[in-house]
Structure 1
Amino acid sequence: MEECACLCGVDSSRGCRCHQKRQSPAETSAADGKQAPAGEQVEADAAARCCADFPVEMLVEIFAWLPGTDLPSLAQACTKFHHILHIDSIWRRRCREEFGVHENLQNLEMMGMSHREVYAKLFHPYRHILGLWQLDTEGSRTLLNVAVDGSCITGWAYRPSLNTHARGPVHFKPWFRIRLTERKSAAVECMAGRISRPHNHHMQIQKDRLTIQCKTDHRTDSPRWLRGERGRGGVQEDGQQYDCRTYRRLYLPPRHPDDLIRPGLFQYYQDPFDLKIAMLSFHGKCAQVTDITGDSSGRLEIHLMRRIQLRDGEIFRNFNELSCVVQEIDEQVTREQQQQQQQQQQEDGTEESQGHGWQSPAQPSAGESGAAASEEQPVPFVLPVGVRSIDRNYPRTCRMCFYGVDTVTVSFRGFSYTWRHAGVFILFDEDHFGFIWLEAKYFFLFRRVQDTFQNVEAPSPQAFLEMLKDIQSGPP
């Protein structure tokens, strides 16, 4: 039984849903009641006749290098192209290069499938959900990594409680799976329930939102309401209670040549039983560390132009002196920000300054660049007397220090509370940095997450900034 070469996956004997199946440009225009321009028709017909004379092996090699989304158009050019695009080696390369699939044909044949079917009915329809997602609620923010897993697509959930050590890899557990059934249709299955076998899942895909709904056999205490677009809750439908979770897409920060270190995800302990993940990103003269898991919306802003001189590490041995230096910078920054806000209000009358992080596209000067950071000679580092820390296994040398401000927003029963704390950002190396919260005399150590993630690039710098601002706004 022969299927249509397009991505609709319909048996050609039953009729393809594509209105332009195997039609030339002239036929397509005629079907629409329009006459194709003579130049375009001659050019298309000439191209088809020219390529039709190529050996099949050569055409297979050429087609295998083209994006899979372009191949259905080729199938409409002529009968020869239509038959060639049923050769599975073309789609095997597309699955491997576009989705990293290394499943061999023998394994798929045992399941009664081909690479073309897997591409057309699974990878192509669900390609938009691949990547990182964040569940943001008032109680907890968790991560979801959706990735191709063999001939399936699996959603892996991250919970901080699953990790026991910040230096180890991030531990994920399977949350849902999308696979092709014996009827060769994609099925979404929940894998988080108490029952041993996976059960049906309902999924709604939007531009930057992913809603998953299933029977709440794995939640006995879920409220019978839907919190909202970004929340999690229960839905009562047909006498059955359903668990509904809505995730928003998460992009990793782009990298620039002048960044102090490579941006990305870092783990740190907020308390002995709360291992969290934060995102380090650079924004011109400032850097930001944003919490993306846990129960609060935390943001650490590092002023890269407010560098603190190390003096061979002596400044860490006197906590009072370090506090005086930071307090002096903090007062100066506060005055400058107030002046900027007043000036901004005078210019537009209504809008207030939103902070450095979203404003300046300029990169730090050469003295503060990533190249300068790598050339800095490390100096000894010790925690100042009286400063506490959960993680005592910190690097014993550091390269740079900067003034920073930690802003924490906690939402509780519809109210938001915000605290602002000045401190010292300490750059140890490419994979470690720390922050001394001076008011509480506390030290946090951040370690780079070593896991690699796919499909996490932002389509544009503006899209990343909008996503980051959405995260920092906290839950509704």
Structure 2
Amino acid sequence: MERCAFLSGVCSSRGCGCHQQRQGPAETAAPAEKHVEADAAALCCAGSGGIASPRPPSPPPRCSLQDLPVEMLVEIFASLPGTDLPSLAQACTRFHSILHTDSIWRRRCREEYGLGENFRNLEVMGVSCREVYTQLLHPYRHILGLWQLATEPYRELLNVAVDGLCITGWKYLPPHYLQVDGPMQLKPSFRIRLTERKSATVECMEGYSRPHSGHYSRPHRCHLRIQKDGFTIKCNHSMSGCSQKHLPKWVSEARGLVLQHAQWFSYRHSDCLTYRRIYLPPSHPDDLIRPGLFKGTYDAYRLKIAMLSFHGKYARATKIAGDPGIPAWKETLEIHLRHRIQLRNAEILRNFNVLSRIVQALHEQVIQELQEEEDGPEDSPAQPSVGGSGAAALEEQPAHSFALPEGVHSRDQNYPRACRMCFYGVDIVNVCGSAYPHRFPGIFILFDENQFGFLCLERKCFILYRRVQDTFRNVEAPSPQAFLEMLENLQALPPGRSSLQAL
């Protein structure tokens, strides 16, 4: 009884909230004091009945990141982006020491840059994964990706990628034998590697041989300057790798052109080459096929690389490299997805006159629609879709037999004999000396996910396109607007000129 009276007195003296409310100066007590009092009141109530109340549990000890085992810290650090590790190394001496663990940088090299080389080679070279990351991969990360040569009409493509323990710039050339089903040609242009001093060195790889001389230029140092969305390679010899005297042979070998057409190729001799970045088009579920790069033929002496992209009611195959007869920035195949051509049977395709009348009628309709769009409000009503969504819509379409109309020639006779869909299209070509681009109406023919063609009725030719199957890294645009800005620089129509004015 005395014990119970004692606990009850403690409860009253400490102001248990379940019996009474404290008055007076205690109302201004600090939050921490109130928290202690509340805990005491709870213990008081729990202690009624003659049983002593236990003491409140002590707060859990504070755990610091520095108190974790080394193995756990290594695993945590290895999962962080490499750009965060330098700041982490400055936090304390222990972190700085742990970040010298090579397994951390090995994982960063593999996950961020796809470095799959056998890391035992590093031990032979006496180089650590940390040095590969900090001295090679990270400083030159901005030049990884796909680039276009900006100093000559051919607009040669360059794919800069991590190649083993180096970064190599590969010339990305069309197939040597002018067949769209052939593999792309890869030739090294430069490489960046670590030297014995563990510093990165840029070397020119533009080797060449001269007839009857046996001369071959070995890799030698050159200068690389990185700019915004571009970079420049400067060397002490011509970057073309040949002399003007032997240009036809070099053009025939490296560009896939025959000697008698070498005069079409105006290559400016220079010891300095400038490249600008190329983004691959983003993919959307509503696209008929996956956008990307395609190889296309024109005639016996030309082959080009085009980029297929989708823009709502339009699709465009923009030429970005190849075929020096028409500079890369002066040709665009424009497909009007609203104007589908229904082919009831194969006889329509074989009849050139019928196709000409169909295309001419659609051409006049397009002119009228463009006129109405320019005269009407800027916000035009939503346009009907081509039916279905993306690849599903393509698969739902029945296959029709396909054959070229009489009198139409094709460089590649190995074209598909069945097609899925056809649309009105126009090949826009900017010819030198002309105030406006030439427009050649025709039929865009979609065969499957990896093949399409364009039937140009005015020139009576058929151009076959096949997808470039190579996989690229670091080619995604940072935003849709960045891709559109890049594409505007490659379009055939000059900026500010409407499509109607060009008709």
Shorter-chain TM-score category? 0.7 to 0.9
Q: Name the structure 2 match of 1:281.
A: 309
Q: Name the structure 1 match of 2:230.
A: 209
Structure-to-structure mapping, 1:265-304, within 5 angstroms = 265-294=293-322, 295=324, 296=327, 297-304=330-337
State the Cα deviation string for residues 43-66 of structure 1 (Å, max 9, x = none): xxxx99611111111111111111
Are residue 418 (structure 1) and residue 437 (structure 2) matched?
Answer: yes
SS in 1 for 2:410: coil
| Alignment partners' CA distance in 2, 1:417 and 1:163 | 34
* Counterpart contact for 1:163–1:171, Cα < 8 Å: no
What's the offset of the Cα at 1:327? 0.5
Moved more, 157-166 or 390-399: 157-166
| Alignment partners' CA distance in 1, 2:197 and 2:421 | 60
| Alignment partners' CA distance in 2, 1:264 and 1:363 | 25
1:259/1:251 CA distance change after superposition, 3 Å: same
SS in 2 for 1:247: strand
Moved more, 169-178 or 335-344: 335-344
What's the offset of the Cα at 1:161? 6.7
State the Cα deviation string for residues 143-192 of structure 1 (Å, max 9, x = none): 00000001100000123374543212211100000001111111100000
Q: Name the structure 1 match of 2:145.
A: 131
SS in 2 for 1:472: coil
Please, what is the CA RMSD of the aligned residues? 2.6
Q: Name the structure 2 match of 1:32.
A: none
| Alignment partners' CA distance in 1, 2:99 and 2:67 | 16
| Alignment partners' CA distance in 2, 1:371 and 1:337 | 30
What's the offset of the Cα at 1:210? 1.2
State the Cα deviation string for residues 371-392 of structure 1 (Å, max 9, x = none): 2111111011111111111111
SS in 2 for 1:271: coil
The residue type equivalent to 2:102 in the other structure is: D
Are residue 52 (structure 1) and residue 66 (structure 2) matched?
Answer: yes
What's the offset of the Cα at 1:74? 1.3
| Alignment partners' CA distance in 2, 1:365 and 1:113 | 57
Moved more, 72-81 or 250-259: 72-81
Are residue 430 (structure 1) and residue 449 (structure 2) matched?
Answer: yes
| Alignment partners' CA distance in 1, 2:64 and 2:486 | 48
Moved more, 100-109 or 199-208: 100-109
* Counterpart contact for 2:340–2:386, Cα < 8 Å: no
State the Cα deviation string for residues 66-103 of structure 1 (Å, max 9, x = none): 11111111111221111111000000010001111123
SS in 2 for 1:167: coil
State the Cα deviation string for residues 282-303 of structure 1 (Å, max 9, x = none): 0001100011113322101101
Structure-to-structure mapping, 1:91-110, within 5 angstroms = 91-110=105-124
1:267/1:418 CA distance change after superposition, 3 Å: same
The residue type equivalent to 1:335 in the other structure is: Q
Are residue 339 (structure 1) and residue 360 (structure 2) matched?
Answer: no
Uncovered stretches (5+) of structure 1, i.e. residues with no partner: 1-46, 223-230, 235-241, 348-352, 354-358
* Runs of 4+ with >6 A deviation: 359-363
Are residue 329 (structure 1) and residue 357 (structure 2) matched?
Answer: no
The residue type equivalent to 1:372 in the other structure is: A
* Counterpart contact for 2:338–2:383, Cα < 8 Å: no
* Counterpart contact for 1:178–1:188, Cα < 8 Å: yes
Q: Name the structure 1 match of 2:470.
A: 451
Structure 2 residue corresponding to 1:170, chosen from 175, 184, 205: 184
The residue type equivalent to 1:337 in the other structure is: L
Uncovered stretches (5+) of structure 2, i.e. residues with no partner: 1-60, 209-215, 246-265, 496-503
* Counterpart contact for 1:232–1:243, Cα < 8 Å: no
Q: Name the structure 1 match of 2:286.
A: 258
Structure 2 residue corresponding to 1:119, chosen from 124, 129, 133: 133
Structure-to-structure mapping, 1:303-318, within 5 angstroms = 303-318=336-351
TM-score, L = length of structure 2: 0.75
State the Cα deviation string for residues 276-333 of structure 1 (Å, max 9, x = none): 1111000001100011113322101101110000103332021111111110010010
SS in 2 for 1:292: strand
What's the offset of the Cα at 1:470? 0.5
| Alignment partners' CA distance in 2, 1:298 and 1:254 | 21
Q: Name the structure 1 match of 2:479.
A: 460
| Alignment partners' CA distance in 1, 2:486 and 2:274 | 15
| Alignment partners' CA distance in 2, 1:121 and 1:343 | 58
| Alignment partners' CA distance in 1, 2:152 and 2:184 | 23
| Alignment partners' CA distance in 2, 1:366 and 1:161 | 36
What's the offset of the Cα at 1:273? 2.4
Q: Name the structure 2 match of 1:220.
A: 243
Are residue 401 (structure 1) and residue 422 (structure 2) matched?
Answer: yes
Q: Name the structure 1 match of 2:277.
A: 249
1:300/1:197 CA distance change after superposition, 3 Å: same
Identity of aligned residues (%): 62
| Alignment partners' CA distance in 2, 1:361 and 1:460 | 24
The residue type equivalent to 2:243 in the other structure is: T
The structure with the greater share of residues assigned to strand is 1
Structure 1 residue corresponding to 2:78, chosen from 42, 46, 64: 64
1:461/1:232 CA distance change after superposition, 3 Å: farther
Structure 2 residue corresponding to 1:184, chosen from 179, 198, 206: 198
| Alignment partners' CA distance in 1, 2:464 and 2:492 | 24
State the Cα deviation string for residues 2-50 of structure 1 (Å, max 9, x = none): xxxxxxxxxxxxxxxxxxxxxxxxxxxxxxxxxxxxxxxxxxxxx9961
Q: Name the structure 2 match of 1:16.
A: none
* Counterpart contact for 2:179–2:412, Cα < 8 Å: no
* Counterpart contact for 1:254–1:457, Cα < 8 Å: yes
SS in 1 for 2:77: helix
The residue type equivalent to 1:79 in the other structure is: T
| Alignment partners' CA distance in 1, 2:443 and 2:86 | 57
Are residue 375 (structure 1) and residue 403 (structure 2) matched?
Answer: no
* Counterpart contact for 1:163–1:275, Cα < 8 Å: no
The residue type equivalent to 1:370 in the other structure is: A
